[in-house]
Amino acid sequence: MERHIKELPPGLTHGARSFVHTHGVRLEPFPLEEYRERWLAAGVPGEQIDRAVAFEQTWGGFVLPPSPWYDGGPKYLDADVPGYVEGVGWCFEVGVQRSALPYSFEIGPDGAFGIYGPGGWVRLHASIEGWVEALSLAHHAATRASGITVLRGAEAKAVDLTGFEEVRAVQGAADRWWRGPDSLIAVHHGESQVFGHPGPAAVHVYSGLDEGGLGTERWAVPTGWHVAGSTEPLVGWDVNGILSKRRARGIYETWFEHSDGRRLGFITNGTRVMLLLLTDEDDAGEHAIDETAEGSSDGFLLTNGQNDRYANRDTVEFDTGIKSLRHLIDFGEWPAPCQFEVRPPTGSPYHPEP
């Protein structure tokens, strides 16, 4: 019988959500509440039972593809009775091993996902979501890379990460991911730390990746932006859907706000885009420009009913506007190919009402 995943756990990137929905199945979670009285009688604090129950309700029963490391990781996700680890705190196991391993997979006192073995407790990722993000990114990279290289020993220690940016979505601790111009690198310290060995146990290099293979947008995490009037965080990947729904309702002016006070304005006539970035209400602002464009265009409908005309130099083609907006939301800066100017464009609604 097909085990459809009816509801995905919150807090995952678009890439991880797609991975879990496509490649995962979910069995019925265990009714851990039935064990509460027995565990309380055994000395397990109620708040620790609450943590295990909450984990089971969210992640219990999920069966995901194996990881390329840790002999595949947990065979399935399920919370077990919490136990106290000296010098660490209360932890609970979250799934049996796929093979005979000298360590278990656990959730630590701070919610981190890690392994517990001969050398003690090792945090791999800051949460179970970080583990799932890493698992999904490994699967994605393996299907898109032109080459995969596994380095160990001296070669692993010598890996140069200059020019690489850490992939925040995986919430790395002992294990971290790094993104370069055309490759992804996963650095695994977990097993070496749990066995007391120096340096990484292994480094996986996924090379020959194009823009889609790098997963920059699909594994992006919210940076503080939301649509004006909403509190729901978003990433650049969300932009197309948001703007399409608004255009279907006849709304061509959209403002995005950041928790630090910045504002992004996207005003379109369907062909060209006025794209504005304001640091605060008193900022002169910046806007994207197209120095090769001539003439002007109208049809820029504002939410107050005004129909504006702008010089084409002060606007950009629609696809350029979309790509620039997505980059600004994910990285907080103009993309390299985009030109912008620090002055209000003539006739622009520079401080419109949201």
Mean pLDDT of 193-211: 93
How do residues 16-75 score in pLDDT, each as one tens digit? 999 999 999 999 999 999 999 999 999 999 999 999 999 999 999 999 999 999 999 999
Mean pLDDT of 164-171: 97
pLDDT score of 346: 57
- Distance CA(274)–CA(306), nearest Å, equals 15
Residue where a domain stops, chosen among 127, 155, 172: 127
Query: Are 64 and 78 spatial neighbours (Cβ–Cβ below 8 Å)?
Result: no
Examine the domain organization and report whether 142 and 248 are in the same domain: no
- Overall domain count for the chain: 3
- Distance CA(148)–CA(152), nearest Å, equals 13
Examine the domain organization and report whether 141 and 210 are in the same domain: yes
Query: Are 76 and 96 spatial neighbours (Cβ–Cβ below 8 Å)?
Result: yes
pLDDT band at residue 7 under the 50/70/90 scheme:
confident
CA 311 distance to own-chain centroid:
37
- Is residue 146 helix, strand or coil? coil
pLDDT band at residue 2 under the 50/70/90 scheme:
low
pLDDT score of 352: 41
Residue where a domain stops, chosen among 127, 156, 189: 127
Q: What is the CA radius of gyration of the chain?
A: 24
Examine the domain organization and report whether 19 and 123 are in the same domain: yes
How do residues 298-353 score in pLDDT, each as one tens digit? 999 999 999 999 999 999 999 999 999 999 999 999 998 778 776 666 555 544 43
Asked whether residue 113 is domain-assigned, the answer is yes
- Is residue 276 helix, strand or coil? strand
Examine the domain organization and report whether 166 and 81 are in the same domain: no
Examine the domain organization and report whether 58 and 99 are in the same domain: yes
Tokens in use for 341?
């100017």
pLDDT score of 348: 55
Asked whether residue 107 is domain-assigned, the answer is yes
Asked whether residue 149 is domain-assigned, the answer is yes
Q: E strand or H helix at 314, and its extent?
A: none
Higher-scoring residue by pLDDT: 353, 105 = 105
How do residues 19-35 score in pLDDT, each as one tens digit? 999 999 999 999 999 99
Asked whether residue 9 is domain-assigned, the answer is no
Examine the domain organization and report whether 334 and 320 are in the same domain: yes
Mean pLDDT of 272-299: 89
User: Does the pLDDT of residue 1 top 50, yes or no?
Assistant: no
Examine the domain organization and report whether 167 and 188 are in the same domain: yes
Residue partners of 251: CB distance under 8 A and separation at least 6: 303
Q: E strand or H helix at 91, and its extent?
A: strand 89-93
Mean pLDDT of 212-233: 96
Taking all residues of the chain, what is their mean pLDDT, rounded to a whole number? 93
Examine the domain organization and report whether 258 and 232 are in the same domain: yes
Asked whether residue 205 is domain-assigned, the answer is yes
pLDDT score of 200: 86
Asked whether residue 158 is domain-assigned, the answer is yes
Global confidence as pTM: 0.90
- Distance CA(323)–CA(267), nearest Å, equals 14
| Residue given tokens 């594994």 in the structure block | 219
Examine the domain organization and report whether 109 and 164 are in the same domain: no
Mean pLDDT of 220-239: 95
- For the four alpha carbons of 126, 128, 133 and 136, in that order, the dihedral sign comes to positive
Examine the domain organization and report whether 143 and 188 are in the same domain: yes
Residue where a domain stops, chosen among 79, 99, 127: 127
Question: What are the backbone angles phi and psi of residue 117, rounded to the nearest 5°?
Answer: -150, -150
Mean pLDDT of 132-137: 98
Examine the domain organization and report whether 89 and 30 are in the same domain: yes
Tokens in use for 308?
């504006």
- For the four alpha carbons of 51, 52, 57 and 60, in that order, the dihedral sign comes to positive
Mean pLDDT of 154-174: 96
Examine the domain organization and report whether 158 and 265 are in the same domain: no
Asked whether residue 349 is domain-assigned, the answer is no
pLDDT score of 338: 75
Asked whether residue 239 is domain-assigned, the answer is yes
Residue 151's domain comprises: 132-214
